[in-house]
Structure 1
């Protein structure tokens, strides 16, 4: 899904999803976009879920 810089991507309690490329994390673990682009969810080998923004 498309998003613009500053948009909230995920509101969460704890780090269910971790910030990836071009994603920031607030003090309440909210993930937000740092640049305009498409949201991408990925699971790594250690089973952590990462959220990134790609152009």
Structure 2
């Protein structure tokens, strides 16, 4: 005979897989056209010169060059100022 009543199962014990978001190429690194610079959900980082945004907010390089990050202040719709980080790719002269 059992000494304890059956415990049953739990509804916990699962987790979703990681989405692998974040900065993929850092400032000063050389990149090729089409490379992913940042994976994000929403605008944590804003696209600058020679970059474009995919439909899932991923920022890609448009040209071959060097990655640069800059802090800018932008005006929000309610008139408040917000500090944001802009990612751009600067062309590098070939020797």
- What's the TM-score, normalizing by structure 2? 0.56
Q: Distance in 2 between matches of 1:45 and 1:25?
A: 20
Aligned counterpart in structure 2 of residue 23 of structure 1, from 21, 36, 51: 51
Q: Specify every segment of 5 or more residues in structure 2 that has no aligned partner in the other structure, as ranges.
A: 1-28, 75-82
- What's the TM-score, normalizing by structure 1? 0.95
Report the Cα offset of residue 45 of structure 1.
2.8
Moved over 2 A (4+): none
2:73 alignment partner, SS class? coil
**Structure richer in strand, relative to its length:** 1
Q: Specify every segment of 5 or more residues in structure 1 that has no aligned partner in the other structure, as ranges.
A: none
Structure ID, larger Rg: 2
**Deviations 1:1-55, CA, capped at 9 Å, x for gaps:** 0000000000001100000000000010000000000000100134111000001
Corresponding position: 1:42 with 2:33? no
Aligned length: 55
Which structure is higher in RCO with an 8 Å CA cutoff and minimum separation 6?
1
